[in-house]
């Protein structure tokens, strides 16, 4: 498929996603940049529901980088054990808090390089924080976005970084934040990991992975 046709199909997909999920946004609960960063770190291999259950009590006890910085990792691990990989995450969060206190006056940096230099913070986490906390037009690629983008033929990358690079070529700058949330919502509601609901999908006529697609369809 030519790049022009790919861009046109992407535009149609964006239009339909916007029509069906106009208010899609993050499901994580947070009240400031630091709480967001903590929540996104906790979300790795955990559901947003699990993270919200943990942070509901966690953020009542510990609210600032200073609060987290004085904790022993083992102590924090007990507070977040409802999330996957909680022991590793506890170590990262304490280290992050200490670095924010010592290097950034207890503020979360609005800079990708500085964010990714924090312990346990990768590109996806940085993208989410930059987007939600600082309004930057980043495009975070998690497992939902990676899977659904591949099924829709918008990307063919073998990993999230390759998928992000391909999506940046077809998703306009000002639509990237909304696209991220809408594709996640679509992945949870219809394009599910184990059994996508293709017969109910409003993108079925645009999807090369749809088994009901007529023979000879060109994508």
Whole-number pLDDT of residue 214? 65
Whole-number pLDDT of residue 6? 83
Whole-number pLDDT of residue 38? 98
Whole-number pLDDT of residue 216? 55
The annotation status of 201 as a binding-site residue, yes or no, is yes
Whole-number pLDDT of residue 198? 94
Q: Indicate if the pLDDT at residue 204 is higher than 70.
A: yes
Whole-number average pLDDT of the chain: 94
Q: Indicate if the pLDDT at residue 176 is higher than 60.
A: yes
Cα gap 137→147, rounded to integer Å: 21
Cα gap 200→133, rounded to integer Å: 34
DSSP of 9-58, one letter per residue? HHHHHHHHHHHH-TT-------SSHHHHHHHHHHTTTS-HHHHHHHHHHH
Whole-number pLDDT of residue 217? 60
Residue numbers annotated as active site: 124, 142
Q: Is the entire prediction scored with pTM above 0.85?
A: yes
The annotation status of 83 as a binding-site residue, yes or no, is no
Question: Domains in the chain, please, with CATH?
Answer: 3-24+140-206 (1.10.1670.10), 33-122 (1.10.340.30)
Whole-number pLDDT of residue 24? 95
Average pLDDT over residues 11-20: 98
Pick 149 or 216 by higher pLDDT: 149
Nearest to 121 by CA among 92, 80, 154, 158: 92
Q: Indicate if the pLDDT at residue 37 is higher than 90.
A: yes
Residues 91-135 pLDDT 10s: 999 999 999 999 999 999 999 999 999 999 999 999 999 999 999
Whole-number pLDDT of residue 46? 93
Q: Indicate if the pLDDT at residue 1 is higher than 80.
A: no
Burial class (CB in 10 A: 0-12, 13-18, 19+), 13: buried
Whole-number pLDDT of residue 219? 56
């Amino acid at each position: 498929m030519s790049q022009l046709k790919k861009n046109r199909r992407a535009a149609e997909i964006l239009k339909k996603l916007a029509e069906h999920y106009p208010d899609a946004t993050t499901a994580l609960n947070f009240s400031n940049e630091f709480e967001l960063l903590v929540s996104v770190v906790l979300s790795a291999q955990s559901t947003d529901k699990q993270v919200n259950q943990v942070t509901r009590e966690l953020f009542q006890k510990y609210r600032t980088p200073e609060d987290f910085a004085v904790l022993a990792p083992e102590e924090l691990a007990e507070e977040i054990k409802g999330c996957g990989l909680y022991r590793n995450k506890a170590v990262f969060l304490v280290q992050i808090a200490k670095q924010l206190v010592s290097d950034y006056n207890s503020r979360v940096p609005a800079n990708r390089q500085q964010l990714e230099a924090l312990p346990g913070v990768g590109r996806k986490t940085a993208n989410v924080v930059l987007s939600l906390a600082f309004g930057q037009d980043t495009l975070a690629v998690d497992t939902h976005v990676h899977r659904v983008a591949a099924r829709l033929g918008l990307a063919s990358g073998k990993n999230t970084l390759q998928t992000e690079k391909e999506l940046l070529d077809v998703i306009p700058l000002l639509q990237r934040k909304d696209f991220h949330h809408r594709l996640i919502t679509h992945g949870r509601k219809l394009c599910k990991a184990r059994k996508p609901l293709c017969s109910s999908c409003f993108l079925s006529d645009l999807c090369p992975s749809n088994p009901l697609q007529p023979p000879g369809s060109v994508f």
